[in-house]
A and B are shown apart, each in its own frame.
Chain A
Amino acid sequence: MSVLKGSGGDDLDLDFASLYPGVPHDEAVMVDEAIHGLRRRDPLGSASIAFTRRQKFVTIGFGLVVVVCAALWPKSTVTWSIGVFTFIYLVTLFDRVRLFSAGLSSKEMLVIGDEEALALRDEDLPMYTVLLPAYGEPDVIAQLLAGVGKLNYPREKLQLLLLLEADDHSTVDSAYASSDASRFEIVLVPAAEPRTKPKACNYGLLRATGSIVTIYDAEDIPDPLQLRRVVVSFNRLPKEVVCIQAKLVFYNDTQNYLTRWFTSEYDQWFGYILPGLMAVKSPIPLGGTSNHIKTDVLVEAGGWDPFNVTEDCDLGFRLAKQGYETAVLDSTTYEEANSDPINWIRQRSRWYKGYMQTFLVNFRSPVKTFREFGFVRTMRLITLSVGLPLLTATNMVFWLLTLTWILGQPDVMRQFFPPLTYFGALISLVLGNAAIMYMGLIVAREDRKHHLLTAAFVSPVYWVLMSLAAIKAIVQLLFQPSYWEKTHHGLHDEDGMAAIRHEVKG
């Protein structure tokens, strides 16, 4: 029954009828596999348990040590914490600038010309599966026709799997009612927790017939030649490259300042940092959509983790762990940026929480991770997963300290900043913030997006939002590790929808 390796469901002899009431047996087996497949085979590789007992012990133990130190030697504890964080800031800053300049000057991004993409004959193209998870989107078919429907790929070789939740009646009904529904293979995912995008995708993966599989959100507008470019790339690249990430770009970047900042951030990430990561052979956290993966490898790797809220990042690292590589393709998928601050914070805190989950999953046994990835790649794994939310949250502390300093408590500050820390912190304050802003400016210039100019100069406001989201994510991970953030449904404006589509469904 199950295509997934190990085919867990049947062996365990579960009572599917009571687990999934009202779901036919074979569908129940499949959905069970989609949810529990990965964690049955590799319990530690799934985020279904956020902290293992050992990780709980270490985290609490570390927390206790800090608290005891703070109680016994408050001054030295603060001084040392500031020193350590300053050092981490400097290292990550240096690494970020290095990755950026590598990305700026590198030819790492794959460029496949139109002629080359079109030169492939239809009979040479492989079967391709496109997963289209959607939830609460009554006009999903119309959206798909405007975006994914324009993909240039022979129809008989393209499997478009529209993944809908079985109890999302409005969407299901309107999808069936549409005259163009026949172009898609509509898959109803049986109602079962957790209601996450990766679960739906795993369910779709069980039905995939293509040798390459990819995901798009309903409102995505991919470059029509993207699938062909991917095929050319796979033909050209070595066997170890099993995954190709296309560039995600927002189309509503001029809507407000939030979308401008978000756009600038995405442009930096996909246009420069990812190619930079590729240049230094780092594991690459995948973006939410437009990642194209060889199906057999994906199945072998266990699919997506439905318990991880950033399953894409997790999958990128899992593939890297198994010795596979990811390439970045110069082909754009247009997406819609979240334009509402509250929704944005919700979305971003979920991502940050997911990064930290991914870190915990990859560091069940730190020694093993270091052995598998090597020192430098492990350090990058840390900075890309737990480092990002942690430092973003700590930013708030340092901003407040800076404010105190400027507003005149220099004597207090001098106690906590011995000279080495002081200059480190000063460099990080001045050059660090300037460098991050400057990268935004350079990217706006390189991508000829002059409307991002003023946004680059006021980007610190965006950093505050990021910091708030990170603090929220950390608190949630510690106190409600398995809590799934509920998002507003029935937000009838387009942006809210777009945001929700990205997110875990609650």
Chain B
Amino acid sequence: MKAKHDVASLEERQQAEAEDLARRLLTARELTAHLEDFPSNTLSAGLFFLLFAAYAAIGSLLILKYNYVFQDGISRVANGSYVLFSRTPHLAAVGFVWNPLPSIIELPLIALKYLWQPLLSKGIAGVVMSAAFMAGSVLQLRGILLDRGLSRAWRGILTFAFAAHPMIILYGGNAMSEAPFLFFTIWAIRRLMRWIYTDSVGDLAVAGVALGLCYMTRYEAIMLGAGAMGSVFAIRAWRDRERGLKVACSRGALDAAVLGFPLLIAFLFWTLASWVITGNALAQFSSVYGNAAQTATSALASQGSWSGFVATSGGPTLFVLRSLLSLEPLCMGVALAAIAVAIWRRERVVIPVMSMFGVLVLFELYGAQSGTLYPWLRYVIMVIPVTIILLATILPPERVPPSSSRQRPMKQRHHFTPRSLKMLYGVFLALCLVPSFPISFFGVTNPSIGNQEAGLRSIIWPATYPSDKEPQLAGWEPESQLAEYLDSLGLKRGSVLVDTWLGWPIVISSKQPTSFVITSDFDFTRDLNAPTVYGVTYFLVPKPQDAGVLDAINRRYHTLFRNGGGFASLALDIPSIGSQPEWRLYRIDSNPLDAP
């Protein structure tokens, strides 16, 4: 009898809590305004443009003034330029080694090179792309805070902690794909967190589309997708557990399928396109330029530096851990606190966040262990938004998005924090966030942690770290001079054959990109095999060392670089500067097939 009474009073209490919550809900109009994926109100638009301008300005400054470039980012701009300015413009020229979305988005900006050459030749189109996506990431993160109804002060602190993080500022303007990756990831997380409350198929579908677009940016999206689908399956199955195991699992699978479908389509589309066009279904992993080949040659070439370095810093596991901690020093503590609070409060929003990030970190660990993936600092950049989102979940929601389900709405218990707890939370927040600024700054400028980023230190302390010792600050001065020289020769269309694998700086620096036969051209292999027949007069070839081993000309003619292979004579030698390879320009004298 008494037990029954308790149950009733519990239900009453929950009812009262729900009503309390309903009172705190915004009016419908305010609600739809903040629920939008891309809010169009003045504050959001202002914030976006401010951040966009700041990131783009910093990024452009670093490239144009200090020559501080992330070559992987600029090479994607180059990929976009082949689509528009090669001898045979076609979309597939965007290439299949890198997932294409950043390059495709950069296309309109690349087309504007006639107005301002550096958009292409210095990769500023990529800077604009990453700045827009990073500003968008900040807005998506702020959207999560808005969805939870956090007060303006909390919102401000947490948004700032993300937007002003040194790593975020750096990747907000360096043309790399980290910014779009973060944008799509946070967008997906936001919709999934919302789904916990709304149970709306729309939230699942939009999260799925975000993951699909994320895959078109970076293939790690598969890991995020696996984590997200797993958590959606588990949450849905648990909700329907009283309907029996089979029904619960089927419904879980259905929700997971709605989430995963766009990702699956993105994967199938890209794989099929790659297979149809290049004959290699998974070029980004297994082609001659793919990840496996890159890590293999690099491990071979820099035995002493890279793998040795990972080993001396305590093995890959510790190394990944150290990367995480140097970006967000208190991420572990925050994660534990968020889990504890979530269990105590029986709130499920942390599940998708944790499982997505968890699977990603496991993947990085596996990659580092097996030597198939560089343990680069940027690969764990997601720890920054995840830590901040988890911090946001510790503070209880002041409001939640209303259920839009056609079915039974979700019941959720809510606690509203007393003032004293909020004070305590503020102190906790400060303790968690404040150290991340100096420590991550230290990490980013320290080559043993910020392995790709540390070139920054010679910009900040030029006296201590002279810039000529920093390979990252070398840019591609030799290559652009070479391009200038080739332009001055007034070459015919397609008279210089070059593999854009390493030769992209030459092609984007040239004012006559059509004088090159490049890797994405349909006739590249044909011309490589019979240059004299098809009017190719020069081969441009990098030194077969490190990544240069993978160059198509070096793979086809092993001795060409050394001695002309018996069919070509050396026209020009461009010595190596910084990390750039030594280049040689060979004039083709006779058909290579006739060579002794």
Contacts and interface: CB of A to CB of B under 8 A. Distances in A.
B107 to A, nearest CB: 12
Contacts of B269: 430
Contacts of B247: 450
Consensus secondary structure, chain B interface = helix
Nearest to B90: A419
B328 interface: no
B265 A430 contact: yes
Contact of B258 (A105, A410, A430, A441): A441
Nearest to A447: B406
A405 B269 CA distance: 14
A405 B254 CA distance: 33
Contacts of A105: 202
Contact of B276 (A104, A406, A434, A438): A406
Given A437-B261, A441-B261, A450-B247, A104 B202 contact: yes
A423 B89 CA distance: 14
A2 to B, nearest CB: 46
B420 interface: no
A453 B258 CA distance: 10
Interface in A434-459: 434, 437-438, 441-442, 444-446, 448, 450-451, 453, 456-457
B250 A438 contact: no
B257 interface: yes
B257 A441 contact: yes
A405 B261 contact: no
Interface string B168-205: 00000000000000000000000000000000011011
Interface in B240-258: 247, 250-251, 253-255, 257-258
A137 B357 CA distance: 62
Nearest to A450: B250
Interface string B202-239: 10110000000000000000000000000000000000
Nearest to B252: A450
A448 B91 CA distance: 41
A423 B91 contact: yes
B356 to A, nearest CB: 21
Q: How extensive is the interface on chain B, given as a class?
A: 20 to 34
A168 B202 CA distance: 51
A486 to B, nearest CB: 41
A426 to B, nearest CB: 9
Contact of B406 (A441, A446, A450, A456): A446
A442 B258 contact: yes
Nearest to B205: A442
Nearest to B253: A453
A453 B246 CA distance: 14
Contacts of A444: 254
Nearest to B91: A423
A410 B269 CA distance: 17
Nearest to B406: A446
B262 interface: yes
Contact of A438 (B91, B202, B261, B272): B261
A71 B195 CA distance: 58
Contacts of B258: 438, 441-442, 445
Interface string A406-438: 100010000000010001000000100010011
A453 B406 CA distance: 19
Nearest to A438: B261
Nearest to A452: B254
A410 B276 contact: yes
B269 to A, nearest CB: 5
A448 B407 contact: yes
A148 B265 CA distance: 45
Contact of A445 (B91, B201, B265, B272): B201
A450 B251 contact: yes
Contacts of B205: 438, 442
A120 to B, nearest CB: 26
Interface string B62-98: 0000000000000000000000000000110000000
B276 A405 contact: yes
A107 to B, nearest CB: 11
Contacts of A456: 257
A222 B272 CA distance: 47
Interface string B387-425: 000000000000000000011000000000000000000
A104 B201 contact: yes
B201 A442 contact: yes
Interface string A84-118: 00000000000000000000110000000000000
A410, A445, A456: residue with the most chain B Cβ atoms closer than 10 Å: A445
A472 B265 CA distance: 32
Looking at B251, B255, B258, B269, which has the most chain A CB atoms within 10 Å of its CB?
B258
B202 A434 contact: no
A453 B254 contact: yes
Contact of B201 (A419, A434, A446): A446
Contact of B254 (A410, A430, A437, A445): A445
Nearest to A423: B91
Interface in A387-420: 405-406, 410, 419
Nearest to B275: A406
Contacts of B262: 434, 438
Contacts of A453: 250, 253-254, 257
A430 B91 CA distance: 16
A260 to B, nearest CB: 13
Please name the 4 residue pairs, one residue from A and one from B, whose CB atoms are nearest each other, closest first. Answer: A450-B250, A434-B265, A450-B254, A430-B269
20 contacts: A104-B201, A104-B202, A406-B272, A410-B276, A419-B90, A434-B262, A434-B265, A437-B261, A438-B258, A442-B258, A444-B254, A445-B201, A445-B254, A446-B201, A448-B407, A450-B250, A451-B250, A453-B253, A453-B254, A453-B257
Interface of A: 104-105, 405-406, 410, 419, 423, 430, 434, 437-438, 441-442, 444-446, 448, 450-451, 453, 456-457
Given A405-B276, A445-B204, 4 more contacts: A105-B202, A445-B254, A448-B251, A450-B247
